Amino acid sequence: MSGTAGRVTVPERAEVVIIGAGIIGWSIAYYLSRAGVEVCLLERAEVGVGTSAIAAGLLAPLGPLNGPGPLASLLLAGCAELSKLVAELEASSGIEIEPGWPGALRLACEARAVARLRRRLERWQPLGLELHWLSGEEARRREPLLSADVLAAVYAPEEGQLRAGRLLKALADAARRAGARCYEHCEASGLRLQADRVLAVQTRGGGEIACGSLVIAAGAWSAQCCAWLGTAVPLRPVRGQLLSVRPPAGLPSLQHLIFGRAIYLVPRRDGSLTIGATREEAGFEVRVTEEGRAWLLAQARSLVPALAAASVEDSWAGLRPSTPDGLPLLGPLPGWRNVILATGHGSQGVMLSALTGQLISDLISTGERSPFLLTCSPGRFATFAP
Ligand SMILES: Cc1cc2nc3c(=O)[nH]c(=O)nc-3n(C[C@H](O)[C@H](O)[C@H](O)COP(=O)(O)OP(=O)(O)OC[C@H]3O[C@@H](n4cnc5c(N)ncnc54)[C@H](O)[C@@H]3O)c2cc1C
């Protein structure tokens, strides 16, 4: 038997229902399915068109870090797990996710920025990553297209990137092969509750899926799902816009990830260059704007003047699900016996996808609570107090 949600036929019951089929929902579905758990994802749009698919795919943990701490431990563990997962997925799916570790150059272009970068280097050193201080000239020897304004740089050879959209596709294919089912154009619109349990997820159009456990992995929209449980989540959408440009013919390719004060440049194997990203408080409006595009191009040109002649091939926008302390919200929702939250990954959802999938899958399938789940417990915010 099955219920219907609009024109989408949904199953009557699943052991675990996941709301949201972005990189976080799919990663959880992948690890759960491999552990033999029956999983059903509900996605109101289509897989591969949202924030997770357009992310730059940086595997560059230093950006948000100011030294050791909970976020550093999470990101370093997350990058290590993701590297293993990517190798596994490439071998099993044949999809080229294009992981690469060209190293990153983090630049300073003014005297004050040089002092700031030196302080950051000192704070980064205890993290145990390989880091080198370069003068402006040394940076230009590595990357001759850099502007003469570059005064200094930190070179981090272990930072890298991948193609986030392809990772999402490979993960979804692998999860489906392991038994996960995904219903697209199927929006969760409410919950049937009894005491401290969710009995079923209701879908727009009148369908209903009974569940043993519910995982809310709806990205920036997760707060709306939590509101059905009477819970206010401290999550805000931060819009990011990205461009893909084609450098002029004959221009040598960049060899490193480049980080300026506000933007980054990611060279791809096909010769294109991704320029990202804006950080904007624009509510839930997901669109590329003329101002965003112009700003990204101007910033890119200030770092690499030859990009003035580059042509824009594509542009995207997405919403980062951001929390007040920069850590994700992972684990049981206080006050509810069978609801788990997996969101709030901000600018790091791709880097943290494999680790999040594992942690949440272990929690559901074996009851194991990693110390990371304590750090990232939704209960750390007063708004969750039952
Ligand atoms: C411009 C930009 C660049 C980025 N670059 C990087 C990067 O280089 N490295 C990195 O690690 N991270 C990066 N990020 C961050 C990363 O993209 C996010 O942290 C990550 O994609 C969040 O994944 P998610 O699955 O939680 O959310 P999403 O990808 O937003 O997925 C949530 C899904 O839930 C669905 N949904 C919502 N409500 C419902 C409902 N009621 N019913 C059914 N479905 C619903 C949505 O349609 C959506 O598909 C970037 C983000 C942006 C915006």
- Is the same domain home to 186 and 131? no
Mean pLDDT over residues 88-95, rounded?
Answer: 94
- Is the same domain home to 182 and 306? no
- Is the same domain home to 171 and 224? yes
Q: Which of 322, 345, 376 is the last residue of a domain?
A: 322
Mean pLDDT over residues 239-265, rounded?
Answer: 96
Q: Which of 307, 322, 337 is the last residue of a domain?
A: 322
CATH number for the domain harbouring residue 196? 3.50.50.60
Q: Write down the pLDDT at residue 5.
A: 42
Distance CA 259, CA 200 (A): 46
71 in any annotated domain: no
Q: Write down the pLDDT at residue 2.
A: 45
Identity of the amino acid at 383 = T
Mean pLDDT over residues 101-123, rounded?
Answer: 97
350 in any annotated domain: yes
| d(CA 346, ligand 1 centre) in Å | 9
Helices (H), the chain: 23-34, 51-54, 70-93, 111-124, 136-142, 164-177, 222-227, 290-303, 353-366, 371-375
- Is the same domain home to 206 and 352? yes
What's the gap between Cα 159 and its chain centre? 16
Mean pLDDT across the chain: 95
* Nearest in space to 240 (alpha carbons), one of 299, 292, 179, 290: 292
**347 CB under 6 A from ligand 1?**
yes
For a substitution probing ligand 1, which of 350, 355, 356 has the most ligand atoms within 8 Å of its CB? 350
Mean pLDDT over residues 62-87, rounded?
Answer: 97
Distance CA 90, CA 99 (A): 10
By CB neighbour count within 10 A (0-12 exposed, 13-18 middle, 19+ buried), where does 36 fall? exposed
Q: Which of 322, 343, 366 is the last residue of a domain?
A: 322
Condensed to tens digits (0 to 9), the pLDDT of residues 10-42 reads: 889 999 999 999 999 999 999 999 999 999 999
**357 CB under 6 A from ligand 1?**
no
Mean pLDDT over residues 75-82, rounded?
Answer: 98
Q: Write down the pLDDT at residue 123.
A: 98
63 in any annotated domain: no
**328 CB under 6 A from ligand 1?**
no
pLDDT exceeds 80 at position 7: no
Distance CA 59, CA 97 (A): 13
92 in any annotated domain: no
Condensed to tens digits (0 to 9), the pLDDT of residues 50-61 reads: 999 999 999 999
Which residues on adjacent β-strands are paired with residue 258? Answer: 105, 265
Condensed to tens digits (0 to 9), the pLDDT of residues 133-154 reads: 999 999 999 999 999 999 999 9
Distance CA 56, CA 75 (A): 16
81 in any annotated domain: no
Q: Please, what's the largest Cα pairwise distance for the chain?
A: 69
Condensed to tens digits (0 to 9), the pLDDT of residues 194-243 reads: 999 999 999 998 899 999 999 999 999 999 999 999 999 999 999 999 99
Number of domains in the chain: 2
131 in any annotated domain: yes
315 in any annotated domain: yes
- Is the same domain home to 147 and 222? no
Tell the residue nearest (CA) to atom 13 of ligand 1. 347
**256 CB under 6 A from ligand 1?**
no
Q: Write down the pLDDT at residue 82.
A: 98
- Is the same domain home to 191 and 177? yes
| d(CA 23, ligand 1 centre) in Å | 7
**221 CB under 6 A from ligand 1?**
yes
Mean pLDDT over residues 368-375, rounded?
Answer: 95
For a substitution probing ligand 1, which of 243, 347, 376 has the most ligand atoms within 8 Å of its CB? 347
Q: Write down the pLDDT at residue 1.
A: 39
CATH number for the domain harbouring residue 317? 3.30.9.10
Domain span at 277: 103-158+236-322
CB 174 within 8 A of CB 30: yes
- Is the same domain home to 10 and 127? no
Q: Is 36 helix (H, G, I), strand (E, B) or coil?
A: coil
Between the CA atoms of 6, 12, 17 and 19, what dihedral angle is there, to the nearest 10 degrees?
A: 10
Token pair in block for residue 153: 């740089």
- Is the same domain home to 316 and 335? no
For a substitution probing ligand 1, which of 51, 203, 214 has the most ligand atoms within 8 Å of its CB? 51
Mean pLDDT over residues 358-372, rounded?
Answer: 96
**167 CB under 6 A from ligand 1?**
no
Which ligand 1 atom is the nearest neighbour of the CA of 58?
8
Q: Pick the residue with more confidence: 254 or 10?
A: 254
- Is the same domain home to 318 and 173? no
Q: Write down the pLDDT at residue 9.
A: 80
- Is the same domain home to 196 and 265? no
Q: What pTM value is reported for the model?
A: 0.97
pLDDT exceeds 60 at position 4: no
Mean pLDDT over residues 100-117, rounded?
Answer: 97
Which ligand 1 atom is the nearest neighbour of the CA of 347?
15
Tell the residue nearest (CA) to atom 33 of ligand 1. 20
Q: Pick the residue with more confidence: 366 or 8?
A: 366
Tell the residue nearest (CA) to atom 16 of ligand 1. 349
- Is the same domain home to 251 and 310? yes
95 in any annotated domain: no
- Is the same domain home to 172 and 312? no
Q: How far is CA 227 from CA 55, 216, 232, 237, 321, in A?
A: 27, 12, 6, 16, 16
Distance CA 5, CA 30 (A): 24
